[in-house]
Amino acid sequence: MMALLIALILALTRLVASKAVFAHYMVGSMTSTEASQDITDAIAAGFDGFALNTHTISDTDTWNTDAITYLLDAASGTPFKMFLSFDMSWNLDVSGLGSFLAKFSNHSQYYTTSDGRPWVSTYSGGSSVSNDQWDTEFVQPLVAQGVKPYFVPDFDDWAGYPTGFFDSFPVVDGAFSWESAWPDSGVANVSDSVDESLIEQAHAVGKIYMMRPSPSPLHPFLVWAGSDWYRIGETNLPERIAQILSLQPDFVEVITWNDAGESHYIGNFWPEQIAGTSQGSYANGYNHSGWQQVIKPFIAAYKTGATDIAQIESRSGSPEGAMWYRPLLTSASCASTITNYQQAKDAVNFAVILPSSDTPYTIEVYSNNNLVGKFSGVEGLNYESVPGLQAGGGQSIRVLDGSGNVVKTANGTKDVLNESADASMCNWNYEVVGLS
């Protein structure tokens, strides 16, 4: 009886939080105009907020504090909110995080729980910092000032993860996992077993779990960078979407809005943010906003409690979605410089949301103007990774209605090459095109 009562109270506590979907945002130097554009675009794409990945807490890095302020201010008057996500891979001083947070946590656009606790997250920090240190150096000093953070870190660098996570880290209010957004290297589909375990563990103790979808398991592939690697998962985004709908986590954070250094960005990245890096050489001109056409209907479905991709609805009443491919074949001689390149596939990939229809839609896939795949569509989200990507132009998908009329297309703007046109680079970033 007591156990039942406790379970009920825990369940009610959790219900206080309503589902929200964030995008991971790499804070970098920017203007207030660019900040406004990002907020406008992210709202239009269906997001509730950004997790602001901050790799410095130094007062002298005004580019950082300015950018955070621009973003928060730009959202004023909207329901869009943000929280800080401390990038602990930069060895930030734990005892300095609280005073940095306090600079922003009173802002009207800072994301809080319904009882006013400011959310805080991390990338990493589970192995370098102990539970006690988080508690005594970060949480308690803030509590002493009347600010009780709601702490939802990514501690998947902790050696025992995810077994017994909340016993080992009682300091947290919730968890999320970075690495589980992608498959392990090797030929495997992305797994949701870590997420499933943590959802179960979190709910058993009245805490929350935030799950992450990510469109692409790729890092960029620069010959000179020396640390480039590939992870299988051409259809990682729709696969994760299916897992999230089925597991119903409390929150979702899409990786990422603007990490131009890795190929999983779905929004704008700005020149100042990547100045002084080589990221522009492989990300400029590779516009990934087409993925937003897949994510927006997913967000709506997640919030209404859909548990299956068949329940994802087209928002416009006509087909929505995107196609994507890499404009350089895996047989290119530079490929062998990429770790795990053997797992890569030459494919045209798509994720298309179809409305209900008496006669089925058909999705046709072309490479080098040759039909390489043809699929009868079903209501909701359809996705495939279609092998047979060929060098040349004419990379496209067409969606035909039941009468055979082409109602939507996505035409690649980049030819597929046999060999890299730039000897210094093996660029496997995706060409992503939304349906129109």
| Residues near ligand NAG, by CB under 6 A | 106, 146-147, 187-189, 268, 287, 289, 391-392, 396, 409, 411, 418, 436
Tokens encoding 304: 């209404």
Min. distance of Cβ 189 from ligand NAG in angstroms?
Answer: 4
CA-CA distance, 82 to 96, in Å (whole number)?
Answer: 20
Min. distance of Cβ 219 from ligand NAG in angstroms?
Answer: 21
Angle 282-264-40 from CA coordinates, rounded to 5°: 100
Query: Quick one: 106 or 357, whose CB is closer to ligand NAG?
Result: 106
Min. distance of Cβ 331 from ligand NAG in angstroms?
Answer: 8
Min. distance of Cβ 64 from ligand NAG in angstroms?
Answer: 19
Min. distance of Cβ 226 from ligand NAG in angstroms?
Answer: 28
Min. distance of Cβ 187 from ligand NAG in angstroms?
Answer: 5
Query: Quick one: 153 or 412, whose CB is closer to ligand NAG?
Result: 412
Query: Quick one: 147 or 223, whose CB is closer to ligand NAG?
Result: 147
Query: Quick one: 85 or 396, whose CB is closer to ligand NAG?
Result: 396
Query: Quick one: 167 or 184, whose CB is closer to ligand NAG?
Result: 184
